[in-house]
């Protein structure tokens, strides 16, 4: 299994000769399952081109703090929130000094200040510079603040000197990052999650269908978080463009009825069910066998709808229901609508979010939400869906393993 699977690594490249190793570093990080985005200083571009780094990372390289196009999409604040790890490699003496003293007049130094992600530096400089008192004092300050360091190594340098200051090899950097990752508690070892994700599609004719804006990102993030916590995870997915998380069994479906059938086949072994899919409430009563043509009639076709099965309610009301968690995507009266759904469908928990907020919910990488149960309420501020998934799985664990609650013991 890739040991940096789905980690968001923000790679900062600065102006040292070791920058030529950066494309290889990006490639090796991606081999371990990481998603890598690159930020370059102006001087770094003298040693390696943004185009080569874009080619190996799969993302446009960021280099301008005041880039208006970046602000419209992945600006410096969003990029800072996206990162799980900020890796600066090579980290020159100048960049180390700027980070130490809190400079924020270029994109990389601003991201370091604006992010809660752990910072890892891989120093690279002339051996005499590395030995300088000011550099060593800066390094000591950063280490005391919790910044982690990889290298430098001793050896022959580009200038001909021999000594400490060479950036560690990309394979060493990747291995060191892997070793620095905290071990995930295996809270859910031996338990099985069934999670639904994505939209469903209900055919109108062979080329048209009814669906919705769900991307599946939240459900897939939940599957990944549960798997990392030790659970056996079965992901029942509607049509998406997402890769299956590592260690997760995926069952692809298209319609609501297909999703229900797939879920029912897994219920016997299910300990926790999370209904995160955006299931179509209705389907067409009679699907046209051929494409409906405009010229066949002057009037628009009259589509008769029938109600789809309520997957969440059927799971929660089954003979031996698992711990059942639902989602409520609302545009108004968030709390009232969520609590009504929690009660009506006999759920243990429900995660409610306002999908009318710009930049959150459907198709976004971020979200905020409120987790409701019969006797509690927990607000989750705006965060990445990756982080929200971890928080939701933790919240489920607190109730599922609460031995003082007879309802949970019964499950």
Alpha helices (runs of H) in 21-132, residue ranges in sequence order = 22-31, 50-57, 68-72, 76-82, 93-100, 107-114, 127-131
Of 159, 207, 303, 306, the catalytic one is 159
Is 220 strand, coil or helix? helix
Number of Cα atoms under 13 Å in the Cβ half of residue 123:
27
CA 128 to chain centre: 42
Pairing of strands 232-237, 248-252: parallel
Q: Say if residues 165 and 122 touch (Cβ distance below 8 Å).
A: no
| Distance set, CA 230 to CA 223, 225, 411 (Å) | 11, 9, 19
Helix (H) or strand (E) holding 209: strand 208-210
Number of H helices and number of E strands within the chain? 15, 19
Q: Are 29 and 9 in contact (CB under 8 A)?
A: yes
**Rounded to an integer, what distance in angstroms lies between the CA atom of residue 202 and that of residue 300?**
19
Angle of helix 107-114 relative to helix 93-100, nearest 10 degrees, comes to: 40
Q: Residue 163: which H helix or E strand, with range?
A: strand 162-166
Identify which of 54, 29, 24 has the alpha carbon closest to the alpha carbon of residue 39: 54
Closest listed residue to residue 218, CA positions, set 315, 4, 363, 400: 363
Q: State phi, psi for 248 to the nearest 5 degrees.
A: -110, 135
Instruction: Give the pair of three-digit tokens for residue 173.
Output: 């950097």
Query: Is 159 part of the annotated catalytic residue set?
Result: yes
Instruction: Give the HSE-up count for residue 83: Cα atoms under 13 Å, Cβ half-sphere.
Output: 27
Q: Residues 242, 205, 277, 37: what is their CA dihedral angle, to the nearest 10 degrees?
A: 20
Rounded distance between C-alpha atoms, residue 86 and residue 88, angstroms: 7
Query: What are 149's strand-pairing partners?
Result: 121
241-252 burial string, b = 16+ CB within 10 Å, else e? ebeebebbebbe
Active site amino acids: 159
């Amino acid at each position: 299994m890739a040991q940096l699977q789905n980690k968001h690594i923000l790679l900062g490249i600065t102006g040292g000769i070791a920058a030529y190793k950066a494309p290889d570093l990006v490639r090796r990080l991606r081999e371990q399952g990481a998603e890598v985005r690159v930020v370059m200083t102006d001087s770094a571009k003298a040693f390696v081109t943004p185009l080569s780094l874009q080619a190996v990372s799969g993302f446009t390289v960021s280099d301008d703090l005041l880039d208006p196009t970046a602000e419209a999409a992945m600006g410096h604040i969003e990029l800072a929130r996206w990162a799980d790890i900020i890796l600066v490699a090579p980290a020159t003496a100048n960049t180390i000094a700027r980070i130490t003293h809190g400079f924020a007049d270029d994109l990389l130094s601003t991201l370091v200040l604006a992010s809660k992600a752990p910072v890892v530096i891989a120093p690279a400089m002339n051996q005499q510079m590395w030995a300088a008192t000011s550099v060593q004092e800066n390094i000591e300050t950063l280490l005391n603040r919790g910044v982690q360091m990889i290298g430098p190594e001793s050896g022959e340098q580009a200038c001909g000197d021999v000594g400490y200051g060479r950036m560690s090899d990309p394979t060493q950097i990747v291995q060191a990052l892997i070793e620095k990752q905290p071990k995930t508690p295996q809270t859910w070892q031996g338990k099985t999650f069934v999670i639904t994700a994505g939209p469903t599609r209900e055919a109108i004719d062979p080329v048209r269908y009814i669906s919705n804006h769900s991307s599946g990102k939240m459900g897939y993030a939940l599957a990944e978080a549960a798997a990392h916590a030790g659970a056996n995870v079965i992901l029942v997915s509607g049509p998406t463009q997402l890769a299956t998380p590592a260690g997760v069994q995926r069952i692809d479906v298209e319609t609501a009825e297909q999703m229900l059938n797939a879920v029912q086949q897994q219920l016997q072994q299910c300990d926790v069910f999370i209904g995160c899919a955006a299931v179509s409430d209705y389907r067409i009563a009679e699907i046209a066998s051929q494409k409906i043509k405009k010229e066949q009639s002057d009037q628009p076709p009259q589509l008769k709808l029938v109600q789809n099965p309520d997957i969440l309610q059927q799971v929660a009301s089954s003979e031996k229901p698992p711990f059942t968690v639902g989602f409520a995507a609302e545009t108004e009266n968030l709390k009232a609508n969520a609590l009504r759904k929690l009660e009506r469908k006999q759920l243990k928990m429900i995660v409610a979010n306002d999908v009318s907020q710009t930049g959150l919910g459907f198709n976004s990488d971020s979200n905020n939400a409120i987790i409701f149960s019969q006797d509690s309420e927990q607000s989750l501020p705006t965060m990445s869906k990756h982080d929200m998934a971890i928080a939701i799985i933790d919240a489920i664990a607190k109730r599922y393993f609460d031995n003082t609650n007879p309802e949970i013991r019964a499950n």
